[in-house]
Amino acid sequence: MVELYDNGHGINTPGKCAPDKSLREYKKARDLVMDIVARRRAMGYDARILVPEEKDISLGERCRRVNEICKQYGTSNVLLVSVHCNAAGADGKWKSAGGWCAYTSPGQTKADIIATHLYNAAQTALADYIKDFPIRKSNGDYDSKQQPIRTDYSDGDPDYEARFYILMHTRCPAVLTESMFQDNKADCDFLLSPEGHKAIVDLHVNGVESYIKSLKR
């Protein structure tokens, strides 16, 4: 299995940052992917960074790279995880939404199975975040509707479904993760903390590991 990790956006992407600029999505995504790939490689897997460049690479080119590897190795031997941070707005103001979630394309595919493994891994890796969430909610960091793990069970599994370009135009199973909200102060502090960073890396590493192991059974 070739594991491809995509880091959203680039240094030249406008917006996509915390209101106080303490976090930029392209940078956090790159730092997360670098650590996820290093960990997966150390575990003996063929994990690769899809976009080694700092600048933004078009979605068309990202998909072309993925599909080229699918052609080389066979589509069923490739998976893609696209790593992003969420945002509730783009007006440069702090918001009250928070939490972690993953997206797949509409319909049931192998991507939904990978996403479910990531959701299961999130329960463990984000245990401290989940535990603190109600306290932070009562402090006003999150509005009353928020959940630490955001789910959409309308189609029977926890992930959200969306026709995102990278999910629709890649041949292999593809999941897009939104790790916390960069425009929520509490989430942003979590993302910037070493513990938070490690928890999100763990979630991806352990979720993919659990999926790969399930294939071998």
Report the interface residues with Zn ion, using CB under 5 A. 8, 84
Output the smallest distance, CB 27 to Zn ion, in A. 12
As a whole number of Å, the end-to-end CA separation of the chain is: 15
Q: Which is nearer to Zn ion, 28 or 39 (CB)?
A: 28
Output the smallest distance, CB 156 to Zn ion, in A. 26
Output the smallest distance, CB 9 to Zn ion, in A. 6
Q: 158, 152, 86, 92: which is closest to 121 by C-alpha?
A: 158
Q: What is the DSSP string of 17-69?
A: B-TTSS-BHHHHHHHHHHHHHHHHHHTT-EEEES---SS---HHHHHHHHHHH
Q: Which is nearer to Zn ion, 13 or 120 (CB)?
A: 13
Q: Which is nearer to Zn ion, 84 or 204 (CB)?
A: 84
Distance of alpha carbon 208 from alpha carbon 216, whole angstroms? 13
Output the smallest distance, CB 87 to Zn ion, in A. 8
Beta bridge mates, 211: none
Output the smallest distance, CB 84 to Zn ion, in A. 4
Q: 82, 96, 87: which is closest to 7 by C-alpha?
A: 82
Output the smallest distance, CB 71 to Zn ion, in A. 27
Q: Which is nearer to Zn ion, 84 or 150 (CB)?
A: 84
Q: 159, 19, 24, 133: which is closest to 84 by C-alpha?
A: 24
- Ranked by CB distance to Zn ion, the top (closest) residue is 84
Q: Which is nearer to Zn ion, 8 or 99 (CB)?
A: 8
Give the three-state DSSP class for 180: strand
Q: Which is nearer to Zn ion, 129 or 181 (CB)?
A: 181
